[in-house]
Structures are given as C-alpha cells and as structure tokens.
Amino acid sequence: MQSNKSYFAYVDSIEHTREGLSICFDAIPTETLERLHQATTFETRAGELEPVILETLDPSKNSHNLRVDHWCRFNIATKSSFGSLAAQQYRSPNNVENIEEVFIENIEHLDGRGRLSRSLRQLVSLDGLQDATQNNIEALLNHKISEQEDNYLAVYNVGQGACLAVLANSLQPALYFDLGGGCLKNAGTYPVNFQPCFTLNPPVVLSHWHMDHWISGDRHQSAQQLPWIVPRQALGPSDMRFAQKLQSYGSLIIWPNNLTSLITPFCEIHKIPNASNRNNSGLVFVAKVGPHNDKVNVLCSDDAKYVKLLHLISSLRLGGLIATHHGGLYRGDIPPQASITSNYIAYSYGQRNSYGYPNRQTVNKHQNAGLTTRRDSINGNQTIPILGTLPGMSLCSGGRCSLTIVQ
C-alpha cells in the first residue's frame, strides 16, 4: 500500500560528489511540532523527538534551494513518483541493520526568517539549558597534564569521522577532542573493535554537533558519563537526542558563547564566532604536545575553514596540523604554513569513504604549505610527535581498550 507522510527536516549536510549531490536530512514528523510547543523544558522537548535520518543522492545536482543547517519540509513515500528522490532511512544513527528504502518528494525549503523555521530552531535546540561558567570548564581541564610532562596528540582510527586525544605520559587519553567515527552510509568504515579508554576520566571537548564527531559517545555508554564540553550551536533532532543522553548523566557542559578562549598548559580551546554553518562556528583545539622541553602547537581545526581561523593561525607558532574536514575540498581555502622544524599533517577519514576524502587537491595544498610529515588514521592509531618507542602492551589496566598506537 502506498503511504505518504509529512516531515520537517534539518539539512544536516550537503556534499558535492562526482555522482551528484549527497544530502543528509535529520527529520521529524510534522505532527511532532504541536507537542514540542507544549513541552516546557529541554528534557521534555527531547523526549518528544523520534527522528529518522535520511540519506539521498541527487544525480541531477538539483539542490532544491536547500541550505545546510536550515530546515525544510517534504513527504516520505514508500513508492517512487515523478521527481521523487530515492533515500535510505535510518531509525537511529547507530541502527544500520534496519535501513529502509523510501522516496522523498515535494521538498520545500523553509525561509529561515519565517515563523515555522524560527520555531523549529528554538524547539530543536539546547535552549532551556544553562551555560557552564569559565570556572566550571577550567576545573575540568586543569591538572590533567603538567607542563613538565612529555605528552602526545593521538589521532585514532575511527573510520570516516574524527577522534583525537591528548595523551598523558602513560599514553592514556587525558582529554578527547571529539569522540566520533564512521556512521550511516560510512558505518562500514568504523573499526568493529574500537574501544576508547576512559581510565583517566578524561573530559571530551566536542568541536561541533556533527554526528561523525560524536557517534562513539553514543555507541559507548560509559562515554556518556564523562564531562562533555560542547558548543551552543543550531542542531538537528538526532543531535538533540544525544545531548539529552549526556544531560541525563549531568555530563553536558555548555561552552558560553562569550568565552572566546581558554588556555591550559597542554591545550588551548577557542570558540569560532557564530556562523550559521556548524562546521564554522564550533570549538577549535590547539594541542601543546611533545617532550617536556620541546613542545609544539598542533592545530586541530575539526571541520572549520582555515579562513575562519586566521586570527589564531597568525598568532600561533604551528608545529603541526590536523587537516580540516577530513581532507575534504574547501575551494580557495589556504592551509597555514609549516614551521621549519616541525611539519606534521594528519588526515582523519575512513577507507573508501563515500565522499572520496582526502581530496587530491587538498592534499597538494597542504604539501605545498610545507606540511610534509604525513599521517593517515586509516593506517591505525597515530601520534604527533611520533613516539620514540612503541609500547608493547595495552594501555589500560583492564586491557580492554583498542587505542594502542601503531603509527
């Protein structure tokens, strides 16, 4: 039987690929809106959400006027019709067994200034939750690693996504920067045995609310009990559901938008000024790593364009870089120049990912900027700087984690 249902959808991402426009939607039935209006707290609003995630490829490259991080409306049908788009529908970000084939029709972009769009933006959001204070956040970061200690930045293999950590002398993570990984159509790139280590009770700094940057936190329930320092950004219903899981453990620490940066002996965290695009409005991380007498700054730009970080780049003596957006192509965006003594570049992506990352032009741009000591997460867990000797045994006492460095 033909069935047809109306949805509001947050445009999670639009990627240009050789085959066409690859679009990901995070959608809720339109009938949810009324119940959201009646819910009075963040928790009750999140409880009303039953999102579905849809991935589609439009070979005609027709964007239907869609804009990333904006809302739209469409129907989902079980049969194709003229102009409809075939899509894969997921019931949850981690449920890749139950994928349904559906068809999206009558896509309608909602004007960002319109009443409907504005209420969706308010209802599907972190509104109602308080910001943390600078003191709260400092207390979570301080005393994790001292200046006198040798430390490293780890780039873990999580498939098509990102998960970095500043390691203590023991090589255990003292702080995670993102806890993401391969999901949805790139779920197959996620290493089946990936098991993060939480021995040191590390805080997690979330760069921005994209699933490939938080999915490991959803997969590993114990990760939800760690403090998560997150930016206040516009987000989709699935992101809000995950935020609610963190909130239920008291783990959601919201970075105040007016706090521009925090500096500790082993890292700097900077807030990129607000922008409508999540990639360009999150938290940027600078790891200060290396032997205690020779530390270098490694810029972890997550998915932000370098042009958004110029103020930072110009004031930093850079010893290494995590390539932005998994090595994806930002036309006209120029990477920072390597320093003479240290020129690390690392790419975090999944083997044979659907986007074709890292893009060849992007790799050339980094190469031309003098960033020539290259590391790729697909080759296994890496560190910057490179370890003198590799540890022979597993890191945590229980021996359960999979974070052994292979570099």
Specify the DSSP class assigned to residue 202: -
Applying CB under 5 A, among 157, 160, 264, 279 the residue interacting with Zn ion is 279
Return the number of other C-beta atoms located less than 10 Å from residue 39's C-beta: 16
For the CB of residue 53, give the shortest distance to Zn ion in the complex, in Å.
15
C-alpha distances out from residue 46 to 35, 42, 182, 228, 383, Å: 11, 6, 24, 18, 38
Which residues, numbered 108-167, are part of the site for Zn ion (CB under 5 A)? none
For the CB of residue 258, give the shortest distance to Zn ion in the complex, in Å.
23
Please tell me whether residue 212 binds Zn ion under the rule CB under 5 A: yes
Specify the DSSP class assigned to residue 213: G
For residues 211 and 405, which CB has a smaller minimum distance to Zn ion in the complex?
Answer: 211
For residues 210 and 295, which CB has a smaller minimum distance to Zn ion in the complex?
Answer: 210
Beta strands in 221-317 (DSSP E): 228-231, 252-255, 261-263, 267-271, 283-289, 296-300
Applying CB under 5 A, among 73, 121, 144, 210 the residue interacting with Zn ion is 210
Please tell me whether residue 69 binds Zn ion under the rule CB under 5 A: no
For the CB of residue 180, give the shortest distance to Zn ion in the complex, in Å.
7
Please tell me whether residue 301 binds Zn ion under the rule CB under 5 A: no
For the CB of residue 348, give the shortest distance to Zn ion in the complex, in Å.
8
Applying CB under 5 A, among 12, 150, 178, 303 the residue interacting with Zn ion is 303
Residues 39-68 vs Zn ion: string with x where CB under 5 A? ------------------------------
For the CB of residue 214, give the shortest distance to Zn ion in the complex, in Å.
10
> 172 Cβ partners below 8 Å, 6+ apart?
197, 199, 200, 395, 396, 403
> 71 Cβ partners below 8 Å, 6+ apart?
8, 9, 10, 11, 110, 112, 116, 117, 120, 121
**What's the distance, Cα to Cα, between the start and end of the chain in Å?**
54
- Determine the interface stretch with Zn ion among 71-79, 129-137, 295-303, 357-365 (rule: CB under 5 A): 295-303
Q: What is the largest CA-CA distance in the chain?
A: 70
- Determine the interface stretch with Zn ion among 165-173, 202-210, 216-224, 288-296 (rule: CB under 5 A): 202-210
Q: Is 163 helix (H, G, I), strand (E, B) or coil?
A: coil
For residues 144 and 326, which CB has a smaller minimum distance to Zn ion in the complex?
Answer: 326
Give burial (CB, 10 Å; 0-12/13-18/19+) of 15: middle
Residues that bind Zn ion (CB under 5 A): 210, 212, 279, 303
